[in-house]
Each structure stands twice: as structure tokens, then as C-alpha cells.
């Protein structure tokens, strides 16, 4: 998804322990760049939700909230697009095996909603084969 030929105005690469407080600080840093770039409120909301859900999944589900395990985060931003890569140190999962949380049989099941939200808020999404690396892009509407 990420292309080295792509010109990025801002980037962030870091690793951090499985701690949502650190993740929230990171989200705020990205959101500040989104606001500085003049993205509209709808796009800002979508990016915030996708980042929140993706980092919660990596920290809580992937790493089991174990502070000894790291989350590896890469983000690139330009005037047209946001690219994000999040890797956890967990066993991974099969995103295609998650039941549809909108299906009446699964409506009361809590799992799967985060993945559904991310899919609905971003332009492109993919996981690696193991299921512990998520990459997504949000294209800016014009």
C-alpha cells in the first residue's frame, strides 16, 4: 500500500508498550496533523475512529494488554492521503473469520465491531497473512 515514491508531508514511526494512554497521545499527534492539513470534520472523525479501533485491537486483542509487548506504528500523511501500519506481537487472527456484527445472530456479540468500523471509515484496508499487521489508507475527498 505505502509507496516510497509517494511524497509525504509528515511521517511518524515508533514502537511503544501496550498502553492505551500512550496510544491516545499518538492518536492526538496524528489528529493534530490532520487538522493542520485542513481535512474536513467528517474525515477527521473517520481517521480518529479508525486509529482508535485499530490501536485498541492491537493492544487489547493482539498483545493482550501486556506492557512487555510492543505495538509498532507507522503513519504517513500528505494533502491527499493518510497511510497507517500497525503491528502487534500477538498470534494474529483471520479477519475473514469474524462474524458480521450486524447479522441478527451476532448482534449481541461484542467482538467484530471494531473491524467493521475500521472497514467503514477507511478507503483501503489489508492484513498480513498472520493477521497481526494492519495497513490502511484514508483518501481525502475533494
- Average pLDDT of 110-128? 87
For residue 75, give the nearest of 92, 51, 49 by alpha carbon.
51
CA distances, 91 to each of 18, 36, 58, 103, 111 (Å): 15, 37, 11, 27, 17
111 band by pLDDT with thresholds 50, 70 and 90? low
> Grid coordinates standing for 64?
493482550
Please state the pTM of the whole predicted model.
0.90
* Alpha helices by DSSP H, the chain: 20-36, 41-56, 113-121
Per-residue model confidence as pLDDT tens digits over 6-60: 699 999 999 999 999 999 999 999 999 999 999 999 999 999 999 999 999 999 9
Three-state DSSP class for residue 69:
coil
CATH no. of 10-139: 3.30.565.10
Strand ordering across the sheet containing 124-127: 10-17, 70-77, 81-87, 133-139, 124-127
SS3 22: helix
Amino acid at each position: 500500500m505505502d509507496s516510497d515514491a509517494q511524497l509525504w508531508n509528515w511521517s511518524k514511526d515508533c514502537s511503544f508498550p501496550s498502553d492505551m494512554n500512550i496510544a491516545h497521545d499518538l492518536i492526538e499527534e496524528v489528529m493534530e496533523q490532520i487538522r493542520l492539513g485542513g481535512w474536513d470534520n467528517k474525515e477527521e472523525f473517520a481517521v480518529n475512529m479508525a486509529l482508535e479501533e485499530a490501536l485498541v485491537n492491537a493492544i487489547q486483542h493482539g498483545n493482550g494488554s501486556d506492557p512487555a509487548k510492543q505495538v509498532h506504528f507507522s503513519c504517513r500523511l500528505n494533502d491527499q492521503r493518510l497511510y497507517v501500519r500497525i503491528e502487534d506481537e500477538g498470534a494474529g487472527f483471520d479477519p475473514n473469520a469474524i462474524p458480521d456484527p450486524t447479522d441478527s445472530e451476532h448482534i449481541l456479540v461484542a467482538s467484530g465491531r471494531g473491524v467493521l468500523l475500521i472497514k467503514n471509515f477507511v478507503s483501503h484496508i489489508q492484513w498480513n497473512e498472520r493477521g497481526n499487521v494492519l495497513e490502511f489508507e484514508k483518501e481525502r475527498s475533494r
